[in-house]
């Protein structure tokens, strides 16, 4: 007669199986990469001289993205502007062909059904708290944080927990129904409220916020997410440069503007663990064959 192990027994079996196949701890510093991969999805694109519907991201661009990532070999990879789960699986396959495997995957569904934030990790998750539906209103009109808030915790070294919050705020493209700046400001306010709940539970949390925030450092949304300078719940912007000493992370062709809109923001407790000499902005010669953004990366040394 077959014995019924029950739900909790099943969970114990799953976690023990995962422990057998997932690397438990890093042997040294941990490299975290954040990368807006620019519309890795099927959408209207110009091809053969005319706009065609539901065209995937070109093969050459997808390979270029995978090459950029493989050049840095991140332990943890956060991506923005990923289409459907099948699109993420495509990236995973390409990375595996380049010798990179990420057994832990957080596929995050926000209010936007088209573009998603996702995270791949060499280390298993010890907690997952991603927020899918975060409502707010603008002038009485109901809205929601488009890509939600990705939130996972990993343990790359024994007793060392790193909490990762991934964001992709409202784009700078004009919105027909509401002011895009007002939407982004409200999203930032919602993010800060969520961060405050994290710090209220654990003031010494080692927290790393990453992603495409679609604003420059002097704009309200960035200041709101960083929090008051003297507050224990404040974050610090991690300064990053490329090999030429330049700071920009995105080229917006329509406006002919280079901007720094991709960030890593660290809690006070995490800042001392960041190795600035091994953190920066990708400077691949053909970065724009992959995306209109450049990948950013930061090295964390568990201690």
Mean pLDDT of 50-67: 97
Mean pLDDT of 274-282: 97
- The residue segments making up the domain with residue 202 are 26-300
Closest CA to 134 of 107, 110, 109, 159: 110
> Does residue 135 fall inside a structural domain?
yes
> Does residue 19 fall inside a structural domain?
no
CATH number at residue 101: 3.60.10.10
Is residue 1 pLDDT above 80, yes or no? no
Distance CA 120, CA 118 (A): 7
Is residue 14 pLDDT above 60, yes or no? no
- The SS3 assignment for 177 reads coil
Mean pLDDT of 116-144: 96
Is residue 85 pLDDT above 50, yes or no? yes
Is residue 7 pLDDT above 50, yes or no? no
Is residue 258 pLDDT above 60, yes or no? yes
Domains held by the chain: number:
1
> Does residue 268 fall inside a structural domain?
yes
> Does residue 70 fall inside a structural domain?
yes
Share of the chain above pLDDT 70, in %: 92
**Higher-pLDDT residue of 179, 73:** 73
Mean pLDDT of 84-102: 98
Q: How confident is the model at residue 47 (pLDDT cuts 50, 70, 90)?
A: confident
pLDDT at position 105: 98
pLDDT at position 174: 75
The alpha carbon of 275 is separated from its chain's Cα centroid by a whole number of angstroms, namely 19
Closest CA to 102 of 115, 86, 91, 87: 91
> Does residue 14 fall inside a structural domain?
no
> Does residue 4 fall inside a structural domain?
no
Give the position of tokens 């280390």.
123
pLDDT in tens, 209-222: 999 999 999 999 99
Cα dihedral: 240, 275, 218, 153 (round 10): 110
Q: How confident is the model at residue 16 (pLDDT cuts 50, 70, 90)?
A: very low
> Does residue 185 fall inside a structural domain?
yes
Mean pLDDT of 162-182: 89
> Does residue 94 fall inside a structural domain?
yes
Mean pLDDT of 131-135: 97
Average pLDDT of the residues of the chain: 92
């Amino acid at each position: 007669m077959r014995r019924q192990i029950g739900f909790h027994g099943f969970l114990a079996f799953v976690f023990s199986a995962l422990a057998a196949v997932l690397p438990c701890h890093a042997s040294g510093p941990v490299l975290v990469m954040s990368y807006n991969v620019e519309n890795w999805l099927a959408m209207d694109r110009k091809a053969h001289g005319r706009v065609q519907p539901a065209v995937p991201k070109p093969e050459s661009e997808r390979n270029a993205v995978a090459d950029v990532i493989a050049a840095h070999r991140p332990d943890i990879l956060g991506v923005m502007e990923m289409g459907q789960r099948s699109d993420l699986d495509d990236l995973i396959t390409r990375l595996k062909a380049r010798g990179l495997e990420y057994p832990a995957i957080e596929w995050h569904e926000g209010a936007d059904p088209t573009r998603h934030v996702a995270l791949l990790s060499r280390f298993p998750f010890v907690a997952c708290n991603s927020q899918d539906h975060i409502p707010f209103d603008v002038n009485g009109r109901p809205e929601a944080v488009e890509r939600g808030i990705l939130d996972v915790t990993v343990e790359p070294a024994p007793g060392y927990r790193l909490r990762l919050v991934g964001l992709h705020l409202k784009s700078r493209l004009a919105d027909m129904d509401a002011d895009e700046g007002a939407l982004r400001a409200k999203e930032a306010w919602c993010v800060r409220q969520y961060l405050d709940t994290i710090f209220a539970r654990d003031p010494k949390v080692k927290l790393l916020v990453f992603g495409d925030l679609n604003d420059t450092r002097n704009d309200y949304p960035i200041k709101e997410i960083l929090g008051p300078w003297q507050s224990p719940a404040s974050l610090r912007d991690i300064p990053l440069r490329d090999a030429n000493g330049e700071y920009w992370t995105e080229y917006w062709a329509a406006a002919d503007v280079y901007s720094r809109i991709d960030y890593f923001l660290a809690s006070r407790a995490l800042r001392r663990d960041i190795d600035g000499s091994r953190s920066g902005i990708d400077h691949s010669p053909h970065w724009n064959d992959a995306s209109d953004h450049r990948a950013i990366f930061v090295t964390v040394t568990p201690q």
